[in-house]
């Protein structure tokens, strides 16, 4: 086996800054003041805050050590399915940090924000082109927020047509945020079972689509990493009853430059700039979930919209059918700069190649681990593949045991127990940015763990063994959180 990236050496213990504090220790030496001491205002006296007293080196080591306890794409492969944890070129960070962008103020007014508005306008145009839609709003702050915006547009569309509907169809392979977004708009979500091959059957949709159903939300590629090949036929069924099709485009990393969702019957789609278009994520944000719409829903886009007149750009609120506002100002601008830099530096061919490589890498993982882990849907996959722990059941080893053990081998675990349609799911998304050598190391690690399941299951059940803390009591962590540190 190749050497693994994981090691337990030279990972330091680190106490709190308060514990390291020594009275009188200081990070700088100031010359003795030649100004006479003056008493403080009475309101400001009292006990001085007990801040830690440390040297510069104490502080540098403290934060450097803490940073090394962390794991990110910059430290190793992060195969978290459904998240597209790919490497983000550092140039995109440099562009977003440029003074003109970083210091732009949303209250500066259109006249003083022409560069930023132009960037946002062009980004909307590029995203419209990539997805095959008419118009885009960049405002939503995340994928789920984009879903909410899309649902509110569908809601506004039915209201405008004079009759509100009460239901939304949601397949069992949809992301969990889909039913939540539908519920926030007051819709009841109706679950549809996927067919045996993991994708939706048109007949299942036809059987329940009616004139009280506002539409369907389809994640495509779906959360099994499979392309919903019947989407066009399904869209026709939904449209024939006056419904609309919401596309969850969080998995666009598999199909950029290959499939345009606007061409296959979808009416409204969100993207996750922080997944597909190169913004670092994990740790909760900020994100950006632009929404693209076709002709039917364009009048309902949130305001303000960016309008180009001759060579100038302005934010316009005068759209009578708009669903209203979804964000203060115009969303998370820094993320837009990163996405814009990414799209420009990749070009159309680069984006298409990225998707092809993402799909190739996932299929490579799928084929290499087939036989080691059970593969409930053995079909060519898109950008991720879903295994489970069926083969390890005889040794009483679970997906969680294997995921924990991967930490010892130096890998962030894949997504576990999602999607819900696969019992004990182990979902791997290698992304296009991993090299064959790194993917091979990951595959070797999973194979070694599968051997351990057979030969030393006791050890696996205690994993991780080499990390700073070993197996945590996750139930206690969820039920009795210690929020004081």
Q: Which residues bind ligand PLP (CB under 6 A)?
A: 82, 142-144, 175, 177, 219, 223, 248, 250-251, 272, 287, 289
Q: Are 151 and 181 in contact (CB under 8 A)?
A: yes
Q: Are 292 and 135 in contact (CB under 8 A)?
A: yes
Say if strands 305-309 and 312-316 run parallel, antiparallel, or are unpaired: antiparallel
Rg for the chain, CA atoms, rounded:
26
Q: Would you mind telling me the total number of residues written for the chain in this entry?
A: 485
Structure tokens at 440: 């091979």
Q: Are 185 and 150 in contact (CB under 8 A)?
A: no
Q: Cα-flanking dihedrals φ and ψ of residue 189, to 5°?
A: -95, 135
Side-chain-facing half-sphere of 319: CA atoms under 13 Å: 20
- 3-state SS track over the chain: CCCCCCCCCCCCCCCCHHHHCCCCCCCCCCCCCCCCCCCCCHHHCCCCCCCCCCCHHHHHHHHHHHHHHCCCCCCCCCCECCCCCCCCCHHHHHHHCCHHHHCCCCCCCHHHCHHHHHHHHHHHHHHHHHHCCCEEECCCCCHHHHHHHHHHHHHHHHHHCCCCCCEEEEECCCCCHHHHHHHHCCCEEEEECCCCCCCCCHHHHHHHCCCCEEEEEEECCCCCCCCCCCHHHHHHHHHHCCCEEEEECCCHHHCCCCCCHHHCCCCEEECCCCCCCCCCCCCCCCCCCCEEECCCCHHHCCCCEEEEECCEEEEECCCCCCCCCCCCCCCCHHHHHHHHHHHHHHHHHHHHHHHHHHHHHHHHHHHHHECCEECCCCCCCCCCEEEECHHHHHHCCCHHHHHHHHHHCCCCCCEECCCCCCCCEEEECCCCCCCHHHHHHHHHHHHHHHHHHHHCHHHHHHCCCCCCCCCCCHHHHHHCCCCCC
Q: Which residue of the chain is nearest ligand PLP when measured via CB? A: 143
Least distance from C-beta 246 to ligand PLP, angstroms?
11
Q: Are 67 and 35 in contact (CB under 8 A)?
A: no
Of the pair 187, 395, the CB lying nearest ligand PLP is at 187
């Amino acid at each position: 086996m190749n050497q693994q990236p994981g090691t337990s050496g030279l990972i330091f213990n680190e106490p709190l800054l308060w514990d390291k504090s020594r009275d009188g220790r200081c990070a700088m030496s100031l010359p003795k003041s030649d100004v006479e001491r003056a008493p403080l205002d009475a309101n400001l006296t009292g006990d001085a805050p007990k801040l830690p007293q440390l040297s510069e080196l104490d502080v540098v080591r403290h934060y450097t050590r803490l940073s090394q306890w962390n794991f990110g794409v910059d430290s190793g492969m992060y195969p978290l399915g459904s998240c597209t944890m790919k490497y983000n070129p550092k140039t995109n960070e440099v562009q977003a940090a440029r003074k003109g962008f970083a210091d732009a103020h949303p209250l500066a007014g259109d006249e003083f924000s022409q560069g930023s508005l132009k960037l946002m306008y062009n980004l909307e145009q590029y995203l419209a082109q990539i997805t095959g839609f008419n118009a885009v709003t960049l405002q939503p702050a995340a994928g789920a927020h984009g879903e909410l915006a899309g649902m509110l547009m569908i809601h506004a569309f039915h209201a405008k047509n004079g009759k509100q509907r009460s239901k939304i169809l949601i397949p069992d392979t949809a992301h969990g945020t889909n039913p939540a977004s539908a519920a926030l708009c007051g819709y009841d979500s109706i679950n549809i079972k996927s067919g045996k091959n993991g994708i939706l059957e048109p007949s299942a949709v036809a059987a329940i689509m009616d004139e009280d159903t506002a539409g369907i939300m389809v994640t495509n590629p779906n959360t099994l990493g499979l392309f919903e090949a019947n989407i066009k036929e399904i869209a026709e069924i939904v449209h024939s009853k006056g419904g609309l099709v919401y596309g969850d485009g969080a998995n666009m990393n598999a199909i950029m430059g290959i499939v345009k969702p606007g061409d296959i019957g979808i009416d409204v789609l969100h993207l996750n700039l922080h997944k597909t278009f190169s913004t670092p994520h994990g740790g909760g944000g900020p994100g950006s979930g632009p929404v693209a719409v076709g002709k039917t829903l364009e009048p309902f886009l949130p305001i303000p919209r960016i309008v180009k007149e001759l060579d100038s750009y302005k934010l316009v609120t005068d759209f009578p059918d708009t669903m209203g506002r979804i964000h203060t100002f115009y969303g998370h601008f820094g993320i837009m700069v990163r996405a814009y830099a990414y799209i420009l530096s990749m070009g159309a061919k680069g984006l298409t190649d990225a998707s092809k490589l993402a799909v190739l890498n996932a299929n490579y993982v799928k084929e290499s681990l087939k036989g080691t882990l059970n593969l409930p849907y053995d079909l060519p996959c898109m950008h991720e593949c879903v295994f489970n722990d069926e083969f390890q059941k005889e040794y009483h080893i679970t997906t969680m045991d294997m995921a924990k053990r991967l930490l010892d081998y130096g890998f962030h675990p894949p997504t576990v127990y999602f999607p819900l349609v696969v019992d004990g799911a182990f979902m791997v998304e290698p992304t296009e940015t991993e090299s064959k050598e790194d993917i091979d190391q990951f595959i070797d690690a999973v194979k070694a763990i599968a051997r351990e399941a057979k030969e030393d299951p006791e050890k696996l059940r205690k994993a991780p063994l080499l990390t700073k803390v070993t197996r945590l009591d996750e139930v206690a962590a969820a039920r009795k959180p210690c929020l004081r540190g």
